[in-house]
Amino acid sequence: MRSFPLKTCRIASGPEDTRHRQRLPGGAPRKASQRKTKRAPPVTSRISPIWRAGDGVRWQGRAGIFRRDVGDGEHAEIVIAERVYRVRIEELA
């Protein structure tokens, strides 16, 4: 007599069986093109300090003095060794 190995069947018992299957909110299965999408990374926003005239700043490893905001929301003027530089505000530290 020949014996066959028994196969164990897993019976769906609730939420632990459905954790690998992503479904739409209505319960329908997702399309193949929707299954392997990656989530977008979280957006990190950088808070830049508010610079005032006369504040000490560092730009490209050099110490300087903040002169003024140009007004376009992106650039500022700083003074380093009696020279005026127009730089991006994001580059100031």
Which tens digits make up the pLDDT trace of 38-85?
Answer: 778 888 877 778 999 999 999 999 999 999 999 898 999 999 999 999
Q: What is the pLDDT of residue 9?
A: 55
Token pair, residue 20, equals 């690998």
Contact (CB, 8 A) for 65 and 57: yes
Q: In what order do the strands lie in the sheet with 62-69?
A: 56-59, 62-69, 75-80, 83-88
Residue closest to 23 by CA, chosen among 11, 34, 12, 10: 34
Q: What is the pLDDT of residues 17-28, one digit of tens each?
A: 555 567 888 888
Q: Quote the pTM value.
A: 0.51
- Which residues, including other chains, have CB under 8 Å from residue 5's CB and lie 6 or more apart? none
